[in-house]
Amino acid sequence: MTPKKNLQDFFISLKEYEITLTKIIPLCLKQGDEEVDMEITHLLTCRDELQSDIERFSDEPQIATHIARIHELDGKLALQKEIIFSHNADYRRWRKRNNIPKSHWWWYMDEEN
């Protein structure tokens, strides 16, 4: 049984998403780190967690104040879509195996025109 999430988990997921997107992945790419694909998968699953938390805690005013930051980070993610999908060949299999819904657009950026 999965432990019940609390609001603090939202802030942890947000910080992980931000650090992975803005610090860890760029560093991995710069250094040619072979683990970049794992970090990209972690990034996308962090965004999944954030979405889950947004839906779970939608009535919490503290969440609403951070939505703009999430959208800002999402914009940075969208700008890096070619880099992300060229370094993570497993994302299609991952999203299929885990039944990722189309509403989680960050897994489907490769299908955008």
* CA dist., res. 36 & res. 31, Å (int): 10
54 contact partners, CB below 8 Å, separation of at least 6? 10, 63, 67, 70
DSSP state of 108: -
Structure tokens at 71: 């959208």
Percent of the chain topping pLDDT 90: 50
Asked if residue 47 belongs to a domain, the reply is yes
In a domain, residue 108? The reply is no
107 found inside a domain? no
Q: Is the pTM of this model over 0.75?
A: yes
User: What domain range is 21 assigned to?
Assistant: 7-102
Q: In this structure, is residue 25 part of a structural domain?
A: yes
Name the band, by pLDDT with cuts 50, 70 and 90, for residue 70: very high
In a domain, 52, yes or no: yes
| 84 belongs to a structural domain | yes
Chain segment 47-67, per-residue pLDDT in tens: 999 999 999 888 888 888 899
Does a structural domain hold residue 2?
A: no
**pLDDT tier at 90, thresholds 50, 70, 90:** confident
Residue 109 inside a domain? The answer is: no
In this prediction, residue 14 has a pLDDT band, given cuts at 50, 70 and 90, of: very high
Per the structure, how many domains does the chain have? 1
- Output Rg (C-alpha) for the chain, integer angstroms: 14
State percent of the chain over pLDDT 70: 95
